[in-house]
Structure 1
């Protein structure tokens, strides 16, 4: 049976997947690096939510001889993994794209699409 917290994480996961796809479509239309970065950020959020669901599931395991008090604290480990993934993936991508765009900038196409998608993402 899913807990209220798990349902919230699952709902956020589904929303983030949809937002990520929309932002990636915005990148394809506008060629905006910021839209690509936003798309990857939303995809990373989705991965993090999967890790949180995994941690919540593993934390519900019953006590065992090696863990007589159960596995409840395992969720903190997975939260730490989530933080590492967010920081490392986001930083690596931002540095790479920043250097690439400084070396060879280009004009944006259809900027209205990018603004509309970002506003929709904020509303959701």
Structure 2
């Protein structure tokens, strides 16, 4: 069996500029590259997260739930930035020894999660 990994997870953006600013601000992830209003790719540690225009997305693409793992800061720090950037907290789950996950909506109502080990 061949090795399989995730190369990129993307969501389709209605307003590329606004959503790019949201993720840069809310999660403090830098843009790796941008192709005008077609595609914005962010730099992560081991994978890629991107925003796609409708024209660049797969035909029929509808939603994804990216789960961002954070370390070195508290969930509360992340929550404050997400809310300040215009996001909404819609749920939290403490999984004990397995970690903690918070569920948010971005400025276009896309759902994403932030996971931490503590």
Give TM-score, length-normalised by structure 2.
0.30
Give TM-score, length-normalised by structure 1.
0.29
Q: Which structure dedicates a bigger proportion of its chain to strand?
A: 2
Q: Which structure dedicates a bigger proportion of its chain to helix?
A: 1
